Amino acid sequence: SDTLRAHAEARGKFIGTAVATSPLANESAYRTIAASEFNQITAENAMKWDATEPSQNQFTFSGADQIMAFAEANDQQVHGHTLVWHSQTPSWVQNLGADAMRSAMQNHIARVAGRYASNPVLKSWDVVNEVFEENGSMRNSFWYQKLGDSYIADAFRYARAADPDAELCINDYNVEGINAKSTAMYNLVRTLKAQGVPIDCVGLQSHLAIQYGFPGQVQENIQRFADLGVNVRITEIDIRMQMPRDATKDATQATYYTNMVKACLAVTRCTGITIWGFTDKYSWVPDTFSGQGAALIYDENYGRKPAYTAVHDALAGG
Ligand code: G3I
């Protein structure tokens, strides 16, 4: 067939989308496209700490299980997002002392990653998310303040113990091209590997904006991580613009999607591309960047945009 997923499969890659639990439950058009066009999904919010452990040791998996069931029904792989992050983490975690915080992290990882460890649909986890500042120093999060950078290696070790088969990733934004932040990530991954820390993969979120230009040396950046012996994935791509849309902006956006997909296709260890949603009807962008939007490959009425064709043709081509 002529779907994105069929072409990606033929290339040995995944093409995925983030999914939100509410439209997944309530809208058949949303379900149909998510199932037919993508062979990988990521929970946009449902596997985060505030969703899975809102109170200490009180775990709630309704949203996470809903997403797993959808993936099982549609022969899709799931990327778990995310075990340790400074955002969407309840205040009870943030208020713990150092030893209790480390124990809570271990317990959270054991319970959340452990729940799906025997399920072959769950292929990978973002173990730590967004641990860097833009200048490449460690993000001054509550994790770092209480535990120092040791929390990163600990999180990977706990995750390996909880799910020995999952691909374990570090994930961040503004690390698509070669820059201070991606170089800091490169140095951290190299150090962790040298220390025997179980890290398997690097996630490049790829929240781009046409007005900021396309990042430099994306393929070279992917390749340098691959050369460290880890896989790379494009985990959250969307490409926003100043509203309103017009044909010129759509064309620029389509070119950016083409460039990212081709950069991944060009590197064997780049395993695939996840788009952060698929329809402009549901996107985090307008809520966060006032006046911006239209970042995805379908419009708000589920019509295909030039960006859809760009992704399709890049996956289908040669
Ligand atoms: O669930 C509550 C709901 O009960 C409440 O009524 C409503 C009112 O605001 O808020 C709902 O929570 C929102 C949640 O999404 C679920 O819809 C939060 O306010 C909102 O802040 C949250 O936004 C998410 C954001 O992460 C939070 O950091 C976005 O949907 C999600 O797309 C975004 O995803 C992140 C990745 O996880 C990490 N990388 C960056 C990416 C974009 O910011």
Query: Could you report the per-residue pLDDT of 155-177, keeping only the tens digit for each?
Result: 999 999 999 999 999 999 999 99
Give the Cα separation of 81 and 84 in Å (integer). Answer: 9
Closest CA to 130 of 122, 119, 139: 139
Q: Are 11 and 315 within 8 A, CB to CB?
A: yes
What is the bridge-based pairing of β-strands 14-19 and 270-275? parallel
Q: In 180-317, which ranges are E strands?
A: 201-204, 207-209, 231-242, 270-275, 292-293
Enumerate residues lining ligand 1, CB below 6 A. Answer: 44-45, 87-88, 205, 236, 284
Is 27 in the active site?
Answer: no
List 295's β-bridge partners, or say none.
Answer: none
Backbone angles phi, psi at 266, to 5 degrees: -75, -15
CA atoms within 13 A on the CB side of 9: 14
CATH class in words for 4-316:
alpha beta
* pLDDT at residue 87 in the model: 98
CA distance 254 to 258: 6
The pLDDT tens digits of the residues spanning 62-100 come to: 999 999 999 999 999 999 999 999 999 999 999 999 999
Under a CB-based contact definition with an 8 Å cutoff, are residues 107 and 57 in contact?
yes
- Percentage above 90 pLDDT, the chain: 99
* Residue corresponding to tokens 């570090």: 170
Mutate which of 21, 44, 86 for ligand 1 pocket (most atoms within 8 A of beta carbon):
44
Whether the predicted pLDDT of 204 surpasses 60: yes
The residue whose CA is least distant from atom 18 of ligand 1 is: 88
Interhelix angle 150-162/98-115, rounded to 10 degrees, is: 30
Residue 10 φ/ψ, nearest 5 degrees: -65, -25
SS3 assignment, position 196 = coil
* pLDDT at residue 318 greater than cutoff 70: no
Catalytic site residue from 130, 133, 176, 300: 130
Percent of the chain whose predicted confidence (pLDDT) is above 70: 100
Closest CA to 318 of 74, 43, 7: 7
Q: What is the pLDDT of residues 265-313, one digit of tens each?
A: 999 999 999 999 999 999 999 999 999 999 999 999 999 999 999 999 9
* Closest to 197 measured CA to CA, from 153, 232, 148: 153
Contact 167, 123 (CB under 8 A): yes
Using an 8 Å Cβ cutoff, are 261 and 311 in contact?
yes
236 belongs to the catalytic site: yes
Tell me the mean pLDDT in the region 225-241: 99
Residue ID of nearest Cα to ligand 1 atom 29: 284
The residue whose C-alpha atom lies closest to atom 9 belonging to ligand 1 is: 287
* 218 has pLDDT over 60: yes
DSSP for residue 136:
S
The DSSP string of 90-101 is -HHHHTS-HHHH
User: Mean pLDDT, the chain, as a whole number?
Assistant: 98
Shortest-distance Cα residue to atom 33 of ligand 1: 284
